[in-house]
Amino acid sequence: MKKTDLFERLQNGETISVNDSEAYKMRDASFATKKLLVQLNNAINPAEVTDLLSQITGSRIDESVMVFTPFYINYGKHTKIGKNVFINFDCVFLDLGGITIDDHVLIAPKVSLLSEGHPISPEYRHSLIPKPIHIKKNAWIGASATILQGVTIGENAIVAAGAVVSEDVPDNVIVGGIPAKIIKDIYN
């Protein structure tokens, strides 16, 4: 049986032990991404930013996507970004577990999308647990919000500034707080 590549294993949600024989590949990939991020974060032309982000993600980023730098991402190849997405200054994406951002999403400054975590048990804490994040169409993520691994943000939902989201958010609601809770329905 063919052994699955480390990055496929991550996308499949497999916990990766610190002692995994391929764990070094995460570090190497991160440094390759960092090289492109230095260029991206020093670019002054929006088309150049889009081109460099396409290289980082390994997929074509539509010219309707606007990213204000600085922007930080640890891998990139597990991030998918739709059309008409706006990502403001100082955002952090940890995407080894996968990040999908649908069309028309707004992401405010200092937002963190963290698709990776660690076990609670101290003896295994240095292992990596990847779980995907999905931000659905037309959602708005407020300034300094943190979206944790395994969370889906519903269509048209709003995450209030400073919220920490650890559970899925339904469509058409506003959530806020730590941990984030539903504050109100958008259409009521």
CA atoms of 33 and 141, how far apart (whole Å): 24
The answer to the question of residue 1 being in a domain is no
**Tens of pLDDT along 160-187?**
999 999 999 999 999 999 999 999 999 8
The answer to the question of residue 88 being in a domain is yes
CA 61, 36, 163, 128 torsion: positive or negative? positive
Which H or E run includes 181? strand 181-185
Lateral strand order in the sheet of 146-148: 71-73, 91-94, 112-114, 146-148, 164-165
Catalytic residues: 118
> Which residue in the block uniquely carries the two structure tokens 């997405």?
85
Confidence of residue 1 (pLDDT cuts 50, 70, 90): very low
Domain limits for position 75: 6-185
The answer to the question of residue 21 being in a domain is yes
Span 48-68, average pLDDT: 97
The mean of the pLDDT values for the chain is 95
The answer to the question of residue 102 being in a domain is yes
CA atoms of 1 and 10, how far apart (whole Å): 18
The answer to the question of residue 28 being in a domain is yes
**Tens of pLDDT along 142-160?**
999 999 999 999 999 999 9
**Tens of pLDDT along 64-102?**
999 999 999 999 999 999 999 999 999 999 999 999 999
> How many domains in the chain?
1
The answer to the question of residue 168 being in a domain is yes
Residue ranges in 14-71 assigned as alpha helix (H): 24-42, 46-57
pLDDT at position 187: 82
The CATH number linked to 127 is: 2.160.10.10
The answer to the question of residue 167 being in a domain is yes
Span 26-49, average pLDDT: 95
Select from 79, 111, 119 the least CA-distant residue to 98: 79
Q: Retrieve residue 90's tokens.
A: 């100082």
Q: Retrieve residue 125's tokens.
A: 């804490």
Q: Retrieve residue 181's tokens.
A: 């809770």
The answer to the question of residue 68 being in a domain is yes
